[in-house]
Amino acid sequence: MMVDAASRDSILVIKLAALGDFVQAFAPFGAIRAWHPDAEITLLTTAPFAALAKASPWFDHVWSDGRPDWTDLPGVARLAMKLAMGRFKRVYDLQTSSRSSRYRLFVGLRAEWSGIAVGASHRDTDPSRNLLHTTERQRAQLAGAGIIRFPTPSLDWLTADLSDFGLPEKYALLLPGASQGRPAKRWPAARYGELATLLPMPAVICGVVSERELAHRIQRSCPTALDLTGQTDLIQLAAIAKQATLTVGNDSGPTHLAAAMGARTLCLFGSESDPALCAPRGTNVTIMASDRLADLSVRQVIDALAPEGGRYLWPP
């Protein structure tokens, strides 16, 4: 049944950053769309995730100007005006930050609001919410707003032509990067290089341009490793991960994306982040945690790839 555009409910979803958090919001995005199949849904996000969101089946509109600096008064005014003019019936604030909560004033206090903002119609007041894994926390928030069905989201739209990358038929994807401001989240690149020499298949390295030096360090140990750092967008990265035989990466957005694609993924956690709160989920995901990633040996990582009966994640 066709729904007249003028009669469609207008809904806003807020998710500003970062990549790992954005990926873990795929299921909530899908649940919101499934619960409001005829609504006109707008996502408020930031530029790095706009293309990903536009390619998805969940949103009618994607606004990428969701985080102007508070000192950018014209930018803040433009956003405030846009949110006011949106005349949203309901808002799902999946960012749940002090910033996004302030946007309730821009949207208008009459709109239904799911989040943590004071005075919200569907306020998540669970005192233990910050002790929950992101998945459980977001599901509880949406349940409080009446969403009770959480279908597994299809990611078939995350596909790309990879013919220009020269990928081997079988390969291991290495994701050695992580937040530049948190170097303790990175397993040393030299260890990734040693691991690459021991894998029974070629290694492919992905990451952003600033992580190219990490790829070069890996190539010093394994010159045959294919360096694609800085050459892929997020949709291409997702397609590369889906096609990989296995993925090894740090606690980073790209590793979350690889895990979401169903790739066999080993995610390495140091002391700067808690896997109980934010680890990627999935039947093909293995989590390995160490207080100091620098102390984690290549042998330990290889053993983690064979958790049961010595059977490695890669084919013989």
- Full 3-state SS string of 83-114: HHHCCCCEEEECCCCHHHHHHHHHHCCCCEEE
Count Cα atoms within 13 angstroms, Cβ side, for 57.
Answer: 14
* Cα 138 off chain centre by: 14
Predicted pLDDT of residue 309: 42
φ/ψ (deg, to 5) at 311? -90, 115
Predicted pLDDT of residue 6: 53
- Report the residue count for the chain: 316
**Residues 16 and 45 sit within 8 Å (Cβ to Cβ):** yes
**pLDDT exceeds 90 at position 158:** yes
Predicted pLDDT of residue 313: 47
Distances (CA, A) of 67 to 48, 103, 154: 12, 10, 28
**pLDDT exceeds 70 at position 214:** yes
Task: Work out the average pLDDT over 140-144.
Answer: 97
Distance CA 220, CA 250 (A): 20
CATH 3.40.50.2000 segments of the chain: 5-144, 163-304
Predicted pLDDT of residue 1: 41
At position 190, the amino acid (one-letter code) is A
Which 3-state string (H, E, C) describes 229-268?
A: CCCCCHHHHHHHHHHCCEEEEECCHHHHHHHHCCCCEEEE
**pLDDT exceeds 70 at position 310:** no
Distance CA 296, CA 280 (A): 20
Lookup: tokens for 284: 């093909």
Q: Choose the weakest-confidence range: 32-36, 121-125, 142-146, 286-290.
A: 286-290
Predicted pLDDT of residue 311: 43
pLDDT band at 217 (very low <50, low <70, confident <90, very high): very high
Predicted pLDDT of residue 316: 36
**Residues 242 and 252 sit within 8 Å (Cβ to Cβ):** no
Question: Which residues face 269 on adjacent strands?
Answer: 289
CA angle 238, 281, 19 (to 5 degrees): 45
Task: Work out the average pLDDT over 137-148.
Answer: 97
Predicted pLDDT of residue 307: 55
Q: Mean pLDDT across the chain, nearest whole number?
A: 93
**pLDDT exceeds 90 at position 183:** no
**pLDDT tens digits for range 184-208:** 899 999 999 999 999 999 999 999 9
pLDDT band at 88 (very low <50, low <70, confident <90, very high): very high
Q: What is the CA radius of gyration of the chain?
A: 21
Count Cα atoms within 13 angstroms, Cβ side, for 96.
Answer: 22
As a CATH number, domain 163-304 is: 3.40.50.2000
CATH class of residue range 5-144: alpha beta
Distance CA 186, CA 182 (A): 8
Query: In the chain, what is the straight-line distance between the N-terminal and C-terminal CA atoms, in Å?
Result: 52
Task: Give the residue with greater pLDDT, 282 vs 174.
Answer: 174
Predicted pLDDT of residue 30: 98
Task: Work out the average pLDDT over 83-95.
Answer: 98
Task: Give the residue with greater pLDDT, 200 vs 239.
Answer: 239
Predicted pLDDT of residue 283: 80
Predicted pLDDT of residue 8: 86
Contacts of residues 31-35 at CB distance under 8 Å and 24 or more positions apart, as own/partner, are 31/142, 31/147, 31/149, 31/150, 31/151, 31/153, 32/58, 32/92, 32/142, 32/147, 33/57, 33/58, 33/59, 34/149, 34/151, 35/146, 35/147, 35/149
**pLDDT tens digits for range 104-120:** 999 999 999 999 999 99
The proportion of the chain whose per-residue pLDDT surpasses 90, expressed as a percent, equals 87
**pLDDT exceeds 90 at position 213:** yes
Predicted pLDDT of residue 7: 63
Task: Work out the average pLDDT over 15-42.
Answer: 97
Task: Work out the average pLDDT over 223-242.
Answer: 97
**pLDDT exceeds 50 at position 124:** yes
Task: Work out the average pLDDT over 92-96.
Answer: 98
Task: Work out the average pLDDT over 140-148.
Answer: 97
Distances (CA, A) of 207 to 9, 153, 255, 298, 306: 39, 25, 10, 21, 26
